[in-house]
Amino acid sequence: MPVATVGDRAGAERAVTEETIDRFAEVSGDENPIHLDAEYAAETTFGGRIAHGMLAASVVSAALARLPGDIVYLSQDLSFERPVRPGDTVVAEVAVVESLGGDRLAVETTASVGDETVVSGEAVVLSLAHDGA
């Protein structure tokens, strides 16, 4: 199987529902009421429930997994730019921008809802050949 190289791109998307947010809270243990309590969230600057930032960032992880080869996450710098709300669809795009030597690659990462970026950053990954063994 080939490995990822500079110029490779991949994407993933995820529809976010109230159930998605509830399930993410259960799995992550992050039970912040801004995510789970509609009445509480309505009184905040966001005016309603919002998804966990890491839920949106997890769509980036799904996109990275679609790059060629076996991809192993080493690090990720993230900027959370806008909230994701129930009913939104998060679309993540990743692009390999630099070889860092060995099997390490720098990857530009972006997650958007419509035309608005919600999460941006850069990841470092290992791209390994899969020998099928």
Q: What confidence category does residue 45 fall into, taking pLDDT thresholds of 50, 70 and 90?
A: very high
35's CB contacts (< 8 A; 6+ apart) are 21, 24, 25, 41, 49, 50, 51, 52
pLDDT at 132 over 70: no
Q: Does residue 133 lie within any of the structural domains?
A: no
In this structure, what CATH number is given to the domain that contains residue 88? 3.10.129.10
Q: How many domains does the chain have?
A: 1
pTM of the model: 0.92
Percent of the chain predicted with pLDDT > 70: 97
CB-CB contact of 62 with 109 (8 Å):
no
Q: Which domain holds residue 40?
A: 9-128
**Extended strands (E) in 3-60:** 9-15
Task: Quickly tell me which residue has 């030597």 as its tokens.
Answer: 101
Q: Does residue 68 lie within any of the structural domains?
A: yes
